[in-house]
Structure 1
Amino acid sequence: MEVIKRKLKWIVIALLFIGIIPILITTYEVIFSKNQSVQFLENYHPNVVFLIISYYFFILGLGIFWLIRQLILISKLKNERIKAELLFLKSQVSPHFFFNMLNNLYGLVAKDTQKAQELILKLSDMMRHSIYEGEKETVTLKNEISFLKNYIDLHEMRYHKEINVDFSCDVDENKNVVPLLFIILLENAFKHGVENLREKAYIKMSLTTSQSKIIFNLENNYEKTENSSGIGLKNLKRRLELIYSNQHELAFSVTKNVYKVQLILKNYD
């Protein structure tokens, strides 16, 4: 491969050198001849002039072709890099949640078989959505809402305390959205809110659509801890930058014991 590259390099240099010979000759004649001006290629045979001009057009076309080809290659490489990065970010969505649920299943199977069966079905639907739907560029809002509701149901079955989760939807379910965006924000609400509160834990969530926007709002109470926010929000922000660049708004509001977040996706369909 390196040998071929070196040969191509010398071929290009030779072609360029041949191409500038007439220019060098004309420049020499202008500088050292007694003529006040010299016409380009005036002393050459018409056939030679035609060949030289044709050669210049060939070099110009070759240069334009090479430039376009390089731009196409750069664009393809950029797209492949973005796809690879998005695939990597998607693979990090909620892995510990599935492990926690499987651990809960282990203890629940012997105590409450019917509840364990319900949990297994919901967990299976979630895993199917995360693996197969998550690979797609977009999914319907109907599927994404079903995924979020299964996630909420599983958490409500998991905890041995009362929690209040209110999820309201006013959407066109046939509209499309990039999968596994909202789940990161909901997961944080459970992880940093519900799990740390002994009582009166709540999550209030809404999803609405307009002609050109998806609006997702989430509010939860929490108790301050020393835990870091992890990679979830970083991954979400990076995915939004790659997919909805300049077409999204992500805003956070933190008061004494209440955490609010709003995600707006613009021109989504």
Structure 2
Amino acid sequence: MIKLLKKYKAFIIGFIIIIPIFYLLDYFGFIILPKERSLEIIIYAIFWGIVIALPVHHFKKNKKTVIKVLSLFVLFFIAFIIDGYMKMPDNPITFILLMGFWVGFAYVLVPTFIKKYWKLITFIYVPLFLYFIYLRLFSGDLEAYLKIKEDLPFFIFLIPIPILFLVWIFEQWKWVQNLKAEKAKTELSLLRAQINPHFFFNTLNNLYALTIKNSEQAPDVILKLSDMMRYTIYEGEKETVKLIDEIDYLNNYIELHKIRYKKSVEITFNHTIDANTTIAPLLFIILLENAFKHGIETLTENAFIHINLYEDADYIHFDIENNFDPNEVNESKGIGLQNLKRRLSLLYNQKHELIVDKMSNIYKTTLKISKHA
């Protein structure tokens, strides 16, 4: 509590200072405090206490802002001194000075908003200002003006304030949405960077062994690995890719693994898709990688992976099934499936379905993604 008071002590000082200032101004006739409306006085005191506190609070952080606020504060009191000296109802000079104060204060608080919407603000307030000047100076004498003012609902001069406030609220909402989108984009980039690093390392090790043996398979491995790395780096950064390209990527992955294994492995990959269908890249590879890592690599014989990729009018379906050795316990939890779930929630929120079934010695994973996301 003490730390909080120290941090915001400037605002406490502001409230303490403004109360005697109010009563001094009331004493000398510059303002009239509505003594029967104490709540109104409290609201005014809070507002002007904040105005006084702002330059004190930001003095060490931004001295230019402090100077601007103090200048506006001086302008405000000049307006009241002139108004008190001239004793003219709805003095145009006071009105102009106060308008300058409020516009300047809004600019200090939300400069970006004022710069962006200055044309709208001008379009709203210049006609109102000219209308006021016309009524005050050219509608007849003071009695005629006061009669018009009495009959005219002057709240119309306050209508633009909530309109501009709503526009500002909309700007803040857009800013928050953009911030969320940028955060999601950054997170997606980090998640993509986690895909397949250990696969590439393993393949490079296998390639090293093949080159030592002068194996005829080495050039083919280099070519496939190059294609996969290119796809991961360049296509993986795109929002969507053609599903046919994703299939080629998966086939390269399968062929590279076939070269690694000396045992009998049954791998089937059936796909029936439209060549123009698109999808977010590198979603299926994690499921395929898990099938190899937690399935085939745990078995010495009769290992299999069955893959079906197809689509209907509304969804893309990816089914993958593999067997595994239930006696082989893998302590490594890994990040692959968690990575995939997070990416799906960012890319296809509420428009996808991921089901993982584990039977006695078979894993079956079904991923369904909406084509209308």
TM-score (norm 1): 0.82
Question: Hey, what does 1:107 align to over in structure 2?
Answer: 209
Match of 1:260 among 341, 364, 373: 364
Which of 207, 215, 218 is the equivalent residue of 2:309? 207
1:211 Cα deviation after fit? 1.3
Structure 1: which 5+ residue stretches go unaligned? 17-42
Residue 190 and residue 5 in structure 1: after superposition, are their counterparts in 2 closer, same or farther (change >3 A)? farther
**Which AA in structure 1 matches 2:361?**
N
Q: Which residue of 1 aligns with 2:248?
A: 146
Q: 2:176 aligns with which of 53, 74, 81?
A: 74
Give the deviation of 1:47 after TM superposition.
6.1
The structure-2 alpha-carbon separation of the partners of 1:162 and 1:152, relative to structure 1 and needing over 3 Å to count, comes to same
Higher relative contact order (CA 8 A, sep 6+): 1
Which residue identity lines up with residue 106 of structure 1 in the other structure? Y
The answer as to 2:221 corresponding to 1:130 is no
Greater helix share, structure number: 2
Q: CA deviation at 1:253?
A: 0.9
With over 3 angstroms needed to count, the CA separation of the structure-2 counterparts of 1:268 and 1:52, relative to structure 1, is same
Q: What's the counterpart of residue 92 of structure 1?
A: 194
Question: In 2, are the aligned partners of 1:186 and 1:218 still within 8 Å (CA)?
Answer: yes
Tell me the amino acid that sits aligned with residue 122 of structure 1: K
Aligned residue for 1:27? none
Q: Where does residue 232 of structure 1 map in the other structure?
A: 336
Going from structure 1 to structure 2, the CA distance change for 1:54 and 1:183 (only over 3 Å counts) comes to same
Q: Structure 1 residue 59: deviation in Å?
A: 1.6
Q: Give distance in 1, aligned partners of 2:342 and 2:147.
A: 64
Following superposition of structure 1 onto structure 2, how do residues 1-269 of structure 1 map, counting pairs within 5 Å?
2=62, 15=102, 46=148, 53-224=155-326, 225-268=329-372
Deviation at 1:48, TM superposition (A): 9.6
Bigger mean CA deviation after superposition, 109-118 or 67-76:
109-118
Q: Between Structure 1 and Structure 2, how many residues are aligned?
A: 242
Give the Cα separation in 1 of the matches to 2:176 and 2:253.
40
State the Cα deviation string for residues 225-259 of structure 1 (Å, max 9, x = none).
13233100001001111111111110111111100
Distance 1:172 1:241 in 2: 25
Name which one, 1 or 2, has greater alpha-carbon Rg: 2
Q: 1:49, 1:76 → 2: CA distance?
A: 47
Q: Would you say the 8 A contact 1:177–1:268 is kept in 2?
A: no
Cα 1:172–1:4 change in 2 (3 A) is: farther
C-alpha distance 150-52 of structure 1, shift in aligned 2 (>3 A)? same
Amino acid at match of 2:256: L
Give RMSD over aligned pairs: 2.7
User: More strand by proportion, 1 or 2?
Assistant: 1
Indicate the SS of the match to 2:274. Answer: coil
TM-score by length of 2: 0.60
- Structure 2 gap ranges (5+): 1-60, 74-100, 104-144
Cα distance, 1:194–1:45 mapped onto 2, change above 3 Å: farther
Letter paired with 1:243: L
In structure 2, distance between residues paired with 1:72 and 1:4 = 28
* Distance in structure 2 (CA, Å) of the matches to 1:4 and 1:66: 24
Amino acid corresponding to residue 94 of structure 1 in structure 2 = N
Amino acid at match of 1:161: K
Change beyond 3 A, Cα 1:106–1:45:
farther
Structure 1 position 44, deviation (Å): 5.2
Give secondary structure in 2 for the equivalent of 1:83: helix
SS at 2:316 equivalent: strand
Partner SS for 2:159: helix
